[in-house]
Amino acid sequence: METKKQQKTKKNFFQKNIYYFVIAFVMLAFVAVTVVLFATNQNTNGLQTPNDNNDLNNPNTSVVLPNTDSSLTPEPDDSSDNKTPEPDKPTQTVITFIMPVENATLSCDYTASSVVYNQTLNVYTGHLAIDFKADAGTPVVVVYNGTIESVNSSYLTGTTITVDHGNGLKTVYNSVDAVEGLQAGMNVSQGQVIAYVSDNNRQEYKDGAHLHFEVLENGEKVSPYKYLTVSEK
């Protein structure tokens, strides 16, 4: 057993060195806590999360790769709703003439590549028109909507009416008597009476009363059959 002297000596030793014991205990505790935290951190860094790239080796992990196949790229929508509407295309009006004289007889046809005999002038000449034979005074109507371009009369050719239908298309009515008051600038409608059959064209008076009918395109005489259907040629 320790003697009182020995116990007193130990007590004095602890009392003198207690400060150092406390310092040492605190330092040991700090070291211990540091070691624990370091070990915990190492374990955490070593764990793999589900999004870790190492999961590519795990057959139970689904990985979605980017689409690199151009054939799988959706085609652009080509529906009519996404198309730019095309501008309206202009429609071409089909022009059809009506007969300028009803119940007429074709007395001299249109000829472009041959000549016909003119019994009044006693010559063979070209005839770039159609002559419709009818009784004097038979109404002559305009074959298509237009505007009266001119009404001219002369001793040799008689009375000639020219109607402008627009776009370079015109019709000519010769060897007629114009209706009273007809003058240039008047608008006329298809079927409207503009004159009456006469024999005042002295170059063809031996042919009797008739309508000499011509068609012009941009100043050139063309076949009336391009626009007119005649049942009797």
Are 135 and 27 found together in one domain? no
Residue 99 inside a domain? The answer is: no
- Are the CB atoms for 97 and 227 separated by under 8 Å? yes
Helix (H) / strand (E) element for 162: namely: strand 158-166
Q: Which of 124, 120, 140 is nearest to 132 (CA)?
A: 140
Give pTM, 2 decimals.
0.60
Alpha-carbon Rg of the chain, whole angstroms?
58
Q: What gap in Å lies between CA 76 and CA 110, rounded to an integer?
A: 61
First and final C-alpha spacing in the chain: 164
Residues near 190 by beta carbon (within 8 Å), at least 6 away in sequence = 98, 141, 142, 143, 144, 145
- Tens digit of each residue's pLDDT (9 = 90 or more) over 39-93: 666 655 554 444 444 444 444 444 454 555 555 555 655 555 556 666 666 666 8
Q: Is the C-alpha dihedral spanning 165, 199, 106, 194 positive or negative?
A: positive
Residue 24's identity, in one-letter code, is A
* CATH number of the domain to which 132 belongs: 2.70.70.10
- The single residue listed with the structure tokens 């730019």 is 84
Strand pairing partners for 206? Answer: none
Q: Domain residues for 203?
A: 105-226
Q: What gap in Å lies between CA 34 and CA 197, rounded to an integer?
A: 130
Q: Which of 180, 178, 182, 208 is nearest to 196 (CA)?
A: 178
More confident residue, 56 or 191: 191
Q: Which of 131, 110, 105 is nearest to 120 (CA)?
A: 131
Provide the number of structural domains found in the chain.
2
Please return the burial class of 76, using the count of CB atoms within 10 Å of its CB with bins 0-12, 13-18 and 19+.
Answer: exposed
Are 143 and 211 found together in one domain? yes
Q: What gap in Å lies between CA 146 and CA 128, rounded to an integer?
A: 22
Task: State the pLDDT confidence band at 145, using cuts at 50, 70 and 90.
Answer: very high
- Are the CB atoms for 119 and 206 separated by under 8 Å? yes
Residue 100 inside a domain? The answer is: no
Look over the chain and give the mean of its residue pLDDT values, rounded to a whole number.
Answer: 79
Are 111 and 73 found together in one domain? no
How many C-beta atoms lie closer than 10 Å to residue 140's C-beta? 26
More confident residue, 149 or 35: 149
Residue 209 inside a domain? The answer is: yes
What pLDDT, on the 0 to 100 scale, is given for residue 96?
95
Task: State the pLDDT confidence band at 230, using cuts at 50, 70 and 90.
Answer: confident
Are 71 and 123 found together in one domain? no
Are 168 and 119 found together in one domain? yes
- Are the CB atoms for 122 and 195 separated by under 8 Å? no
Q: What gap in Å lies between CA 65 and CA 54, rounded to an integer?
A: 15
